[in-house]
Structure 1
């Protein structure tokens, strides 16, 4: 699988980015490639002006186009996903997520923000052609421990939910690895 992760946090050290890092580690052995895109590192002027000729945007958009799996993570602000993520998603073509498995991840200060995934982000993903949306994972700030080297580490409940959400991807990868052995033994 070719995997692209999109971090929609404007902060370099964020809980939402830590969810992506955790997923990347779990998927590493099953992936052909994993490319992480921190949207805050894309050129701001090109991003805001939709400068499709900018090499940085071209690269990011091309990586999403070539991906089989897209994981996106965002903090929830004022009951919606980050503006940074919105600006990037607006640059994708109308069917930019068609045929891809998509896993939305989000963090927020309280459970009051939980529904932002279903009512704000999911309709945008659907409008971009995403039909294979895996079970979204939302975590509150209190479900992380600060770590001196890793930034933030999710608690056991969030790890269990992430593991369940990644299950279909890991199972499909295991089946693909087993198929050549079955064919060769025939």
Structure 2
């Protein structure tokens, strides 16, 4: 199973990127293969002009195409998701999220932006063909505690909600096909 994680913050050190790194660690501990893409690691011109021949863009599009699930996180700007994330989503082919489980996440300064996932992110994800968009998780700034200049710690209550969302994502993934005649481990046999 392959899961793509997208950090949609334009900042090199951000709560959003820290959240994605935290989730990557949780998934890898469960044995999942992950590909992480951070908006600030792309060539801005390649994203802005949708240069689908750019090597980073090619790798990103290929990873999305083969992924079973996509987890994307954004900071909240002007009651919506970041332009950096929108630029990355614009690189996904039309219907490019079809058949994928999608988990949206948002980070914001206060709980006033709690509905950004439902009102701003989900319509765009649906336009890209995503039909299995999970509820999502909103994490406020107070739940991402700065420990050093470049690191954040996810507060316990937020961590619990994220782990529940990951459980939901894993449950929604297609069961792996039987390998070498062995029974599928996700199916209980009597």
Q: TM-score, normalised by structure 1?
A: 0.89
State the partner residue of 1:25.
Answer: 25
Q: Which has the higher contact order (CA 8 A, sep 6+)?
A: 1
Identify unmatched segments of 5+ residues in structure 2.
none
Aligned-pair CA distance for 1:30: 3.7
Aligned partners of 1:111 and 1:140 also within 8 Å: yes
What SS does structure 1 have at the residue aligned with 2:11? coil
Q: Which has the higher helix share?
A: 1
Rate the CA distance shift 1:91–1:182 in 2: closer, same or farther, 3 A. Answer: closer
Residue 111 in structure 1 maps to residue 121 in structure 2: no
Hey, what's the Cα distance between the residues in 1 that align with 2:14 and 2:5? 15
State the partner residue of 1:154.
Answer: 154
Rate the CA distance shift 1:109–1:55 in 2: closer, same or farther, 3 A. Answer: same
Residue 144 in structure 1 maps to residue 144 in structure 2: yes
Aligned-pair CA distance for 1:169: 3.4
What SS does structure 2 have at the residue aligned with 1:51? coil
Rate the CA distance shift 1:131–1:78 in 2: closer, same or farther, 3 A. Answer: same
Rate the CA distance shift 1:151–1:182 in 2: closer, same or farther, 3 A. Answer: closer
State the partner residue of 1:80.
Answer: 80
Count of residues in correspondence between the two structures? 184
Hey, what's the Cα distance between the residues in 2 that align with 1:45 and 1:182? 44
Rate the CA distance shift 1:182–1:160 in 2: closer, same or farther, 3 A. Answer: closer
State the partner residue of 1:2.
Answer: 2
Q: RMSD of aligned C-alpha atoms?
A: 2.5
Hey, what's the Cα distance between the residues in 2 that align with 1:134 and 1:182? 20
Hey, what's the Cα distance between the residues in 2 that align with 1:172 and 1:56? 29
Identify unmatched segments of 5+ residues in structure 1.
none
Q: TM-score, normalised by structure 2?
A: 0.87
